[in-house]
Structure 1
Amino acid sequence: MQWRKYFTGLAFSFVFVVTYFTNKFVLSVLKFTYPTLFQGWQTLIGAALLVLFGKLGWVEMSRISRSAALSWLPASLLFVGNIYAGSRALSLIDIPLFFTLQNSSHVVSGVVLKAFHGEKLQLLNSISLCLLLLSAVNLPLSDPQFNVSGYAWAAVHLSCVGVYRVFKSHYKPSGLSDLDQQYINYLLSVLLLAVAAHPTGDLAGALDFPSLKSRTFHSGCCASALLGFMLLLATVRLQSGFSIEHFGVWIFLSKITAVSLSPFVFHMTMSTPAFICVVVSHAAEALLLYSQRESQLR
């Protein structure tokens, strides 16, 4: 029934917002800026819960062949770069600005599709991508709390997101479901992040972390891992019940909700030009969704 689809979308939006807020709380408020451990913990719990849910028959997990896993390996490497750089950026940048930069990943996807697939861009598509790029480029110039490291990691994050989007839509191996893909992503993430924990200094820093034995810290880390897994399930459920265009709309609405509520949850300082960049970026994303819908109807 139609109301069940809307309930699925609303549930996705709720989990989306709470997940980002929880991650922001641990990374910025508690200042646990050790992404190899933070993301390693999340992906380890995610992989374990996927296996458990598969054994219980609550989700469908197929046997993954070696060839399929190897063909998905480039996407998994992009996923690791996405979550690592995303954690770095989110710890240093406010949520509205983070999503403004993340939106420009559509520009990366458009460039890759144009360069390697020769796809022609419609006029509305081109306008929206230009506005997304313009907002992202002007944001560092208008951010009163500009942080070079934060924006550098955000650039890596949005690049990985953009290329991953193209890989997922054009090079998806046959026989791999979305959950199978995510399981491979989780396993590679745990392996690489565990290896990188010592060379990056995250392991030594975490051992000296002041709030290591804090109940608030433990609760935040457990909540972030469980919410991340719930967001995965909600995403898969939403994708199975809606078209790609409608799925994009629900992600857009979820980001708008997070951007609107974040000033009431976290302290932030935003200038008028930065606010304009945020508004233009999300308006451009709405235009992009509209142009994609129109192209599908033709």
Structure 2
Amino acid sequence: MKMKSSSDDEHDEEKGKLLEKSKERGSRNGRVVVKVHNQALLSGLAYCLSSCGMILVNKFVLSSYDFNAGISLMVYQNFISVIIVSVLSLLGLVSTEPLTWRLIKVWFPVNVIFVGMLITSMFSLKYINVAMVTVLKNVTNVITAVGEMYLFSKHHEGRVWAALFLMIISAITGGITDLSFNATGYVWQTLNCFLTASYSLTLRRVMDTAKQYTKSGNLNEFTMVLLNNTLSLPLGIFLMLVFNEVDYLLRT
């Protein structure tokens, strides 16, 4: 029986160490890739759940309880958002930029559209079922694509226009077959589509200017959430007074 020499043992030991290191690197790299994919998946799921949950809750409150103060509901939700982001910022879990007067002045037109977008969404949900709201929101993509073409000279491929055309067909078909058709709700939803597209296009134009008035030169998502929701509060309260929602809340 052939015996291994000491040099063979050392060679096998070194080879084993190299294999272990390569496996460790592979598993480590594998964990990183899985982690990134999991983060993307979790972010997508969280967005879907929060978006669907918000729509369903708003629909339930506005329709089931016959709640006629959609602006007040918006103000309440935005106030909660401000508190959450502010607490996370104080704890150091997220970073936000200071809200200076120059930044507020630049951002104000965006915020006006933002408030209009939320209010029209509330009003349309009161009269239209959730399924139709979801279908009609696809029209926003068409308006945004046309706006990008004229405002930013962005050209879309034929496949994009084909997909947008199918979205229009689905919206028209859904409207024709909607047994609970409500003209008021469709008017509000149409306004919401235009305001949502306007918000997206205006945001793209204003962001570069707004970054010049931030401390870090950047404008992250948490700062935009804080900025939009904070500025929406005084405007929302003003609209509550205009539409007599304060009296309605006091009576009910």
Q: TM-score, normalised by structure 1?
A: 0.65
CA distance in 1, matches of 2:234, 2:116: 13
- In structure 2, relative to structure 1, the CA distance for the partners of 1:7 and 1:111 (3 Å cut) is closer
Tell me which residue corresponds to 1:65. Answer: 100
Question: 1:61 aligns to what SS in structure 2?
Answer: coil
**Equivalent of 1:134, from 149, 156, 169?**
169
Relative to 1, partners in 2 of residues 1:199 and 1:170: Cα closer, same or farther, differing over 3 Å?
A: closer
- Distance in 2 (CA, whole Å) between partners of 1:99 and 1:31 is 21
Q: Which has the higher contact order (CA 8 A, sep 6+)?
A: 1
State whether structure 2 residue 249 is matched by structure 1 residue 206. yes
Distance (whole Å) between structure 2 residues aligned to residue 202 and residue 58 of structure 1: 36
Contact kept? 1:33, 1:88, Cα under 8 Å: no
Deviation digits for residues 79-135 of structure 1 (CA, Å, limit 9, x no counterpart): 101110000011211111001111110111112112222222210111122222233
Distance 1:201 1:11 in 2: 36
Task: Show the 5 A alignment for 1:94-109.
Answer: 94-109=129-144
Greater CA deviation, 168-177 or 90-99? 168-177
Distance change >3 Å, CA 3–CA 115, structure 1 → 2: closer
2:148 counterpart of 1:113: yes
SS at match of 1:72: helix
Alignment length, in residue pairs?
Answer: 209
One-letter amino acid matched to 1:192: L
Aligned-pair CA distance for 1:181: 1.5
Q: Structure 1 residues 194 and 169 mapped into 2: Cα distance closer, same or farther (>3 Å)?
A: same
Report if aligned partners of 2:132, 2:175 keep a CA contact under 8 Å in 1: no
Counterpart residue type for residue 99 of structure 2? I
- 4+ residue segments displaced more than 6 Å: none
Letter in 1 for 2:131: P
2:240 corresponds, among 197, 204, 208, to: 197
1:1-298 matches, within 5 Å, as: 1=35, 2-172=37-207, 173-174=210-211, 175-209=218-252
What is the identity percentage for the equivalent residue pairs of Structure 1 and Structure 2?
Answer: 21
Alpha-carbon displacement from aligned partner over 1:133-183 (angstroms, at most 9, x marks no partner): 233344333211111111111011111111212233343132322221221
Instruction: Give the CA RMSD over aligned residues.
Output: 1.8
The one-letter amino acid paired with 1:189 is S
Give CA deviations for 1:171-227 in whole Å, capped at 9, x if unaligned: 313232222122121122111110111221222222333xxxxxxxxxxxxxxxxxx
Query: Which stretches in structure 1 are left out of the alignment for 5+ residues?
Result: 210-298
Alignment gaps of 5+ in structure 2: 1-34, 212-217
| Residues 64 and 176, structure 1, Cα contact 8 Å, conserved in 2 | no
SS of the equivalent of 2:54 reads helix
How much has 1:55 moved relative to structure 2?
A: 1.3
**Greater Cα radius of gyration, structure 1 or 2:** 2
AA at the equivalent of 1:97: M
Number of the residue aligned with 1:283: none
